[in-house]
Amino acid sequence: MKVRDILKSKSRGPATVVLETPLSECVISMADEDLGSLVVMDGPKVAGLLTFREVIQVLARRQKELRSGPTPPVADLKVSEVMNPTPLCTTPDVELHELRALMIRQHQRYLPVLDNGVLIGVLSFHDVARTVFEEQEFENRMLKSYIGDWPGGDAAHA
């Protein structure tokens, strides 16, 4: 199975914002739409990725700064000031096992999927885990069916 196959099972396309989007709007969208990431676009090009990790980091940084004096409100920040400007991306032809290894090794929960530089989706670690689970469930059903059809298969279960 490949990245393109996993994308087919997703019910929605990638959620995007532009560089100038206020961080406060991003946080509201992520909460309201139950999103773990937003792809930040600069025209047709991926400029970065905002995940809950970057949001937590900026909140922690601002909280520490408050101890030493006043700072501008987090609400005044633009997504371009908080996003990861060099997100790890993948392509539609990457195999599932390669994708899992990449996400684990690089400690990435979300990966934009680019096809010839064009954003076509975002995969989460949850998407990958769901796909693996569904594949294993299917294989188990097939094996049980095969064993049940084997001569003497029912006797083994008796």
pLDDT value, residue 91: 97
Q: How far is CA 125 from CA 92, 96, 155, in A?
A: 16, 11, 41
* CB of 122 closer than 8 Å to CB of 33: no
Structure tokens at 9: 């099972």
Question: For a pLDDT cut of 70, what percent of the chain falls above it?
Answer: 89
Question: For a pLDDT cut of 90, what percent of the chain falls above it?
Answer: 67
pLDDT value, residue 12: 87
The residue type found at 22 is P
Band of pLDDT at residue 138, cut at 50, 70 and 90: low
Instruction: Give the structural domain span for 52.
Output: 3-157
Residue 124 CA to residue 108 CA, distance in Å, equals: 9
Task: List the end-to-end C-alpha distance of the chain, in Å, as a whole number.
Answer: 36
Alpha helices in 39-95 (DSSP H): 52-66
Our count of domains for the chain comes to 1
Return phi, psi of residue 45, to 5°. -100, 140
pLDDT value, residue 136: 67
In the predicted model, is pLDDT for residue 124 greater than 60? yes
Residues 6+ apart with CB under 8 A from 13: 121
pLDDT value, residue 151: 67
pLDDT digits 0-9 by tens, 21-59: 999 999 999 999 999 999 999 999 999 999 999 999 999
What CATH number is given to the structural domain containing 106? 3.10.580.10
In the predicted model, is pLDDT for residue 63 greater than 90? no
Query: How confident is the model over 130-150, as a mean pLDDT?
Result: 73
pLDDT value, residue 154: 56
Q: Which residue has the higher pLDDT, 124 or 158?
A: 124
Residue 154 CA to residue 152 CA, distance in Å, equals: 6
